[in-house]
Amino acid sequence: MLTLGIETSCDETSAAVVRAGRDILSNVILSQAVHTRFGGVIPEVASREHVKAIVPIYQQALEEAGVTITDIKLVAATMGPGLVGPLLVGLSFAKGLAYARNVPFVPVNHLEGHLAANVLEHQDLDKHHLTLIVSGGHTMLVEVKSFGEYLLLGRTRDDAAGEAFDKVAKLMGLGYPGGAALDKLASTGNPRYFRFPRAVMKDDFQFSYSGLKTAVALYLKKLDPNELAERKADIAASFQEAVVDVLTVKTLRAMEATGVRHVTVSGGVAANSRLRLRLREEVEARGGRLYYPSLALCTDNAAMIAAAGFYNFEKHGPGELIANAIPNLKLV
Ligand code: KG4
Ligand code: ZN
């Protein structure tokens, strides 16, 4: 069964064709460059860019997959969480297409899409696993009993991990969104150059990044410009280490508390090279297995939405065409 996936929750316009929730035939992603000059996503601008891009991106996805619209048997689109204008563009397009072609439609939770990226790519992943979702808007630890059955273990009290990366990257003049640039810079720095605070005191699964962000901001403010220029990579590596430390400690704690040995990490920050390495080492040292998506499936993309839509369709059948965009949609 071929599924067409559509993703427009933030500033990526994406369309993908996926066979049976397993094989990606195409996954076209357009990242809107227009926002870089504002240092953040402007929702109204993003909506307009999605309107311009959605049809050509959809056509390109069919073309790259070597199929036509008559081959598509299921249409899936992100309904939330995300920015309401951008969500409505993709959702309305997908619903219209499903209606016109008389094929079933499934609305998808974007966070379930991130989680599904690992199910899509790793055949040997246990149905019952732990997942760490770390993106620009979310940081959460979830026990996945099976696809669709979730137990929330913990989430961030304030900033998301990706948000912390973006804010610190901005302070350091690395552009927006700066997570990937900071990762690259940090790879040449010393993670022990300065010890930034880690919010790991309490024996729970909650996260907090606003204190760390403020600590870095104050540190940078006090620094003389020469030291900043000389030590930029060391500061980036030290900040990154603090984020990765907390994510690792809490994930290991969840492994211990639940006894679940298969762990996945997903979302944009799952692309972070230090996080991938540390988590893999630590999880494997405790007899577990760590799974992460390939880089293209970490950040927002429609292949993960097509896969999540397909798994949902298998379990519950088609969704309703009256499905609306829900900006603050929860996973659990
Ligand atoms: O999942 P995503 O594409 O969008 C949301 O659903 O939020 O995640 C985007 C986030 C941004 O904050 C971006 O800076 C971060 O993921 N990111 C990274 C890396 N690549 C992307 N953060 C750290 N290291 C990276 N390599
Ligand atoms: Zn995302």
**pLDDT tens digits along 82-128:** 999 999 999 999 999 999 999 999 999 999 999 999 999 999 999 99
Tokens 């070597």 sit at which residue? Answer: 66
CB 275 within 8 A of CB 265: yes
* DSSP class per residue in 262-311: EEEEESGGGG-HHHHHHHHHHHHHTT-EEE---GGGTSS-HHHHHHHHHH
* 3-class secondary-structure state, position 130: strand
Whole-number pLDDT of residue 297: 98
* SS3 of the chain: helix, strand, coil, percent, to 5: 50, 20, 30
Distance (Å) of CA 332 to CA 105, 142, 153, 203, 207: 22, 9, 10, 21, 17
Distance (Å) of CA 118 to CA 109, 142, 325: 15, 14, 25
Whole-number pLDDT of residue 288: 98
* 3-class secondary-structure state, position 224: coil
Report the distance separating Cα 58 and Cα 302, nearest Å.
10
Report the distance separating Cα 43 and Cα 82, nearest Å.
10
**Angle, CA 69 vertex, CA 98 and CA 293 arms, to 5°:** 85
Q: Whose C-alpha lies nearest to ligand 1, atom 13? A: 179
Q: Whose C-alpha lies nearest to ligand 1, atom 21? A: 268
Output the CA 229–ligand 2 centroid distance in Å: 32
Element (H, E) at 243: helix 225-258
Helices and strands (H and E) in the chain: how many: 9, 10
Residue type, 47: S
Helix intervals (H) in 26-130: 43-65, 84-101, 110-121
Residues of the chain with pLDDT under 70: 201
7 lines ligand 1 (CB under 6 A): no
Q: Whose C-alpha lies nearest to ligand 1, atom 14? A: 179
CB 9 within 8 A of CB 81: yes
CB 290 within 8 A of CB 258: no
Q: Are strands 149-155 and 139-146 parallel, antiparallel or unpaired?
A: antiparallel
Output the CA 72–ligand 1 centroid distance in Å: 30
243 lines ligand 1 (CB under 6 A): no
CB 267 within 8 A of CB 138: yes
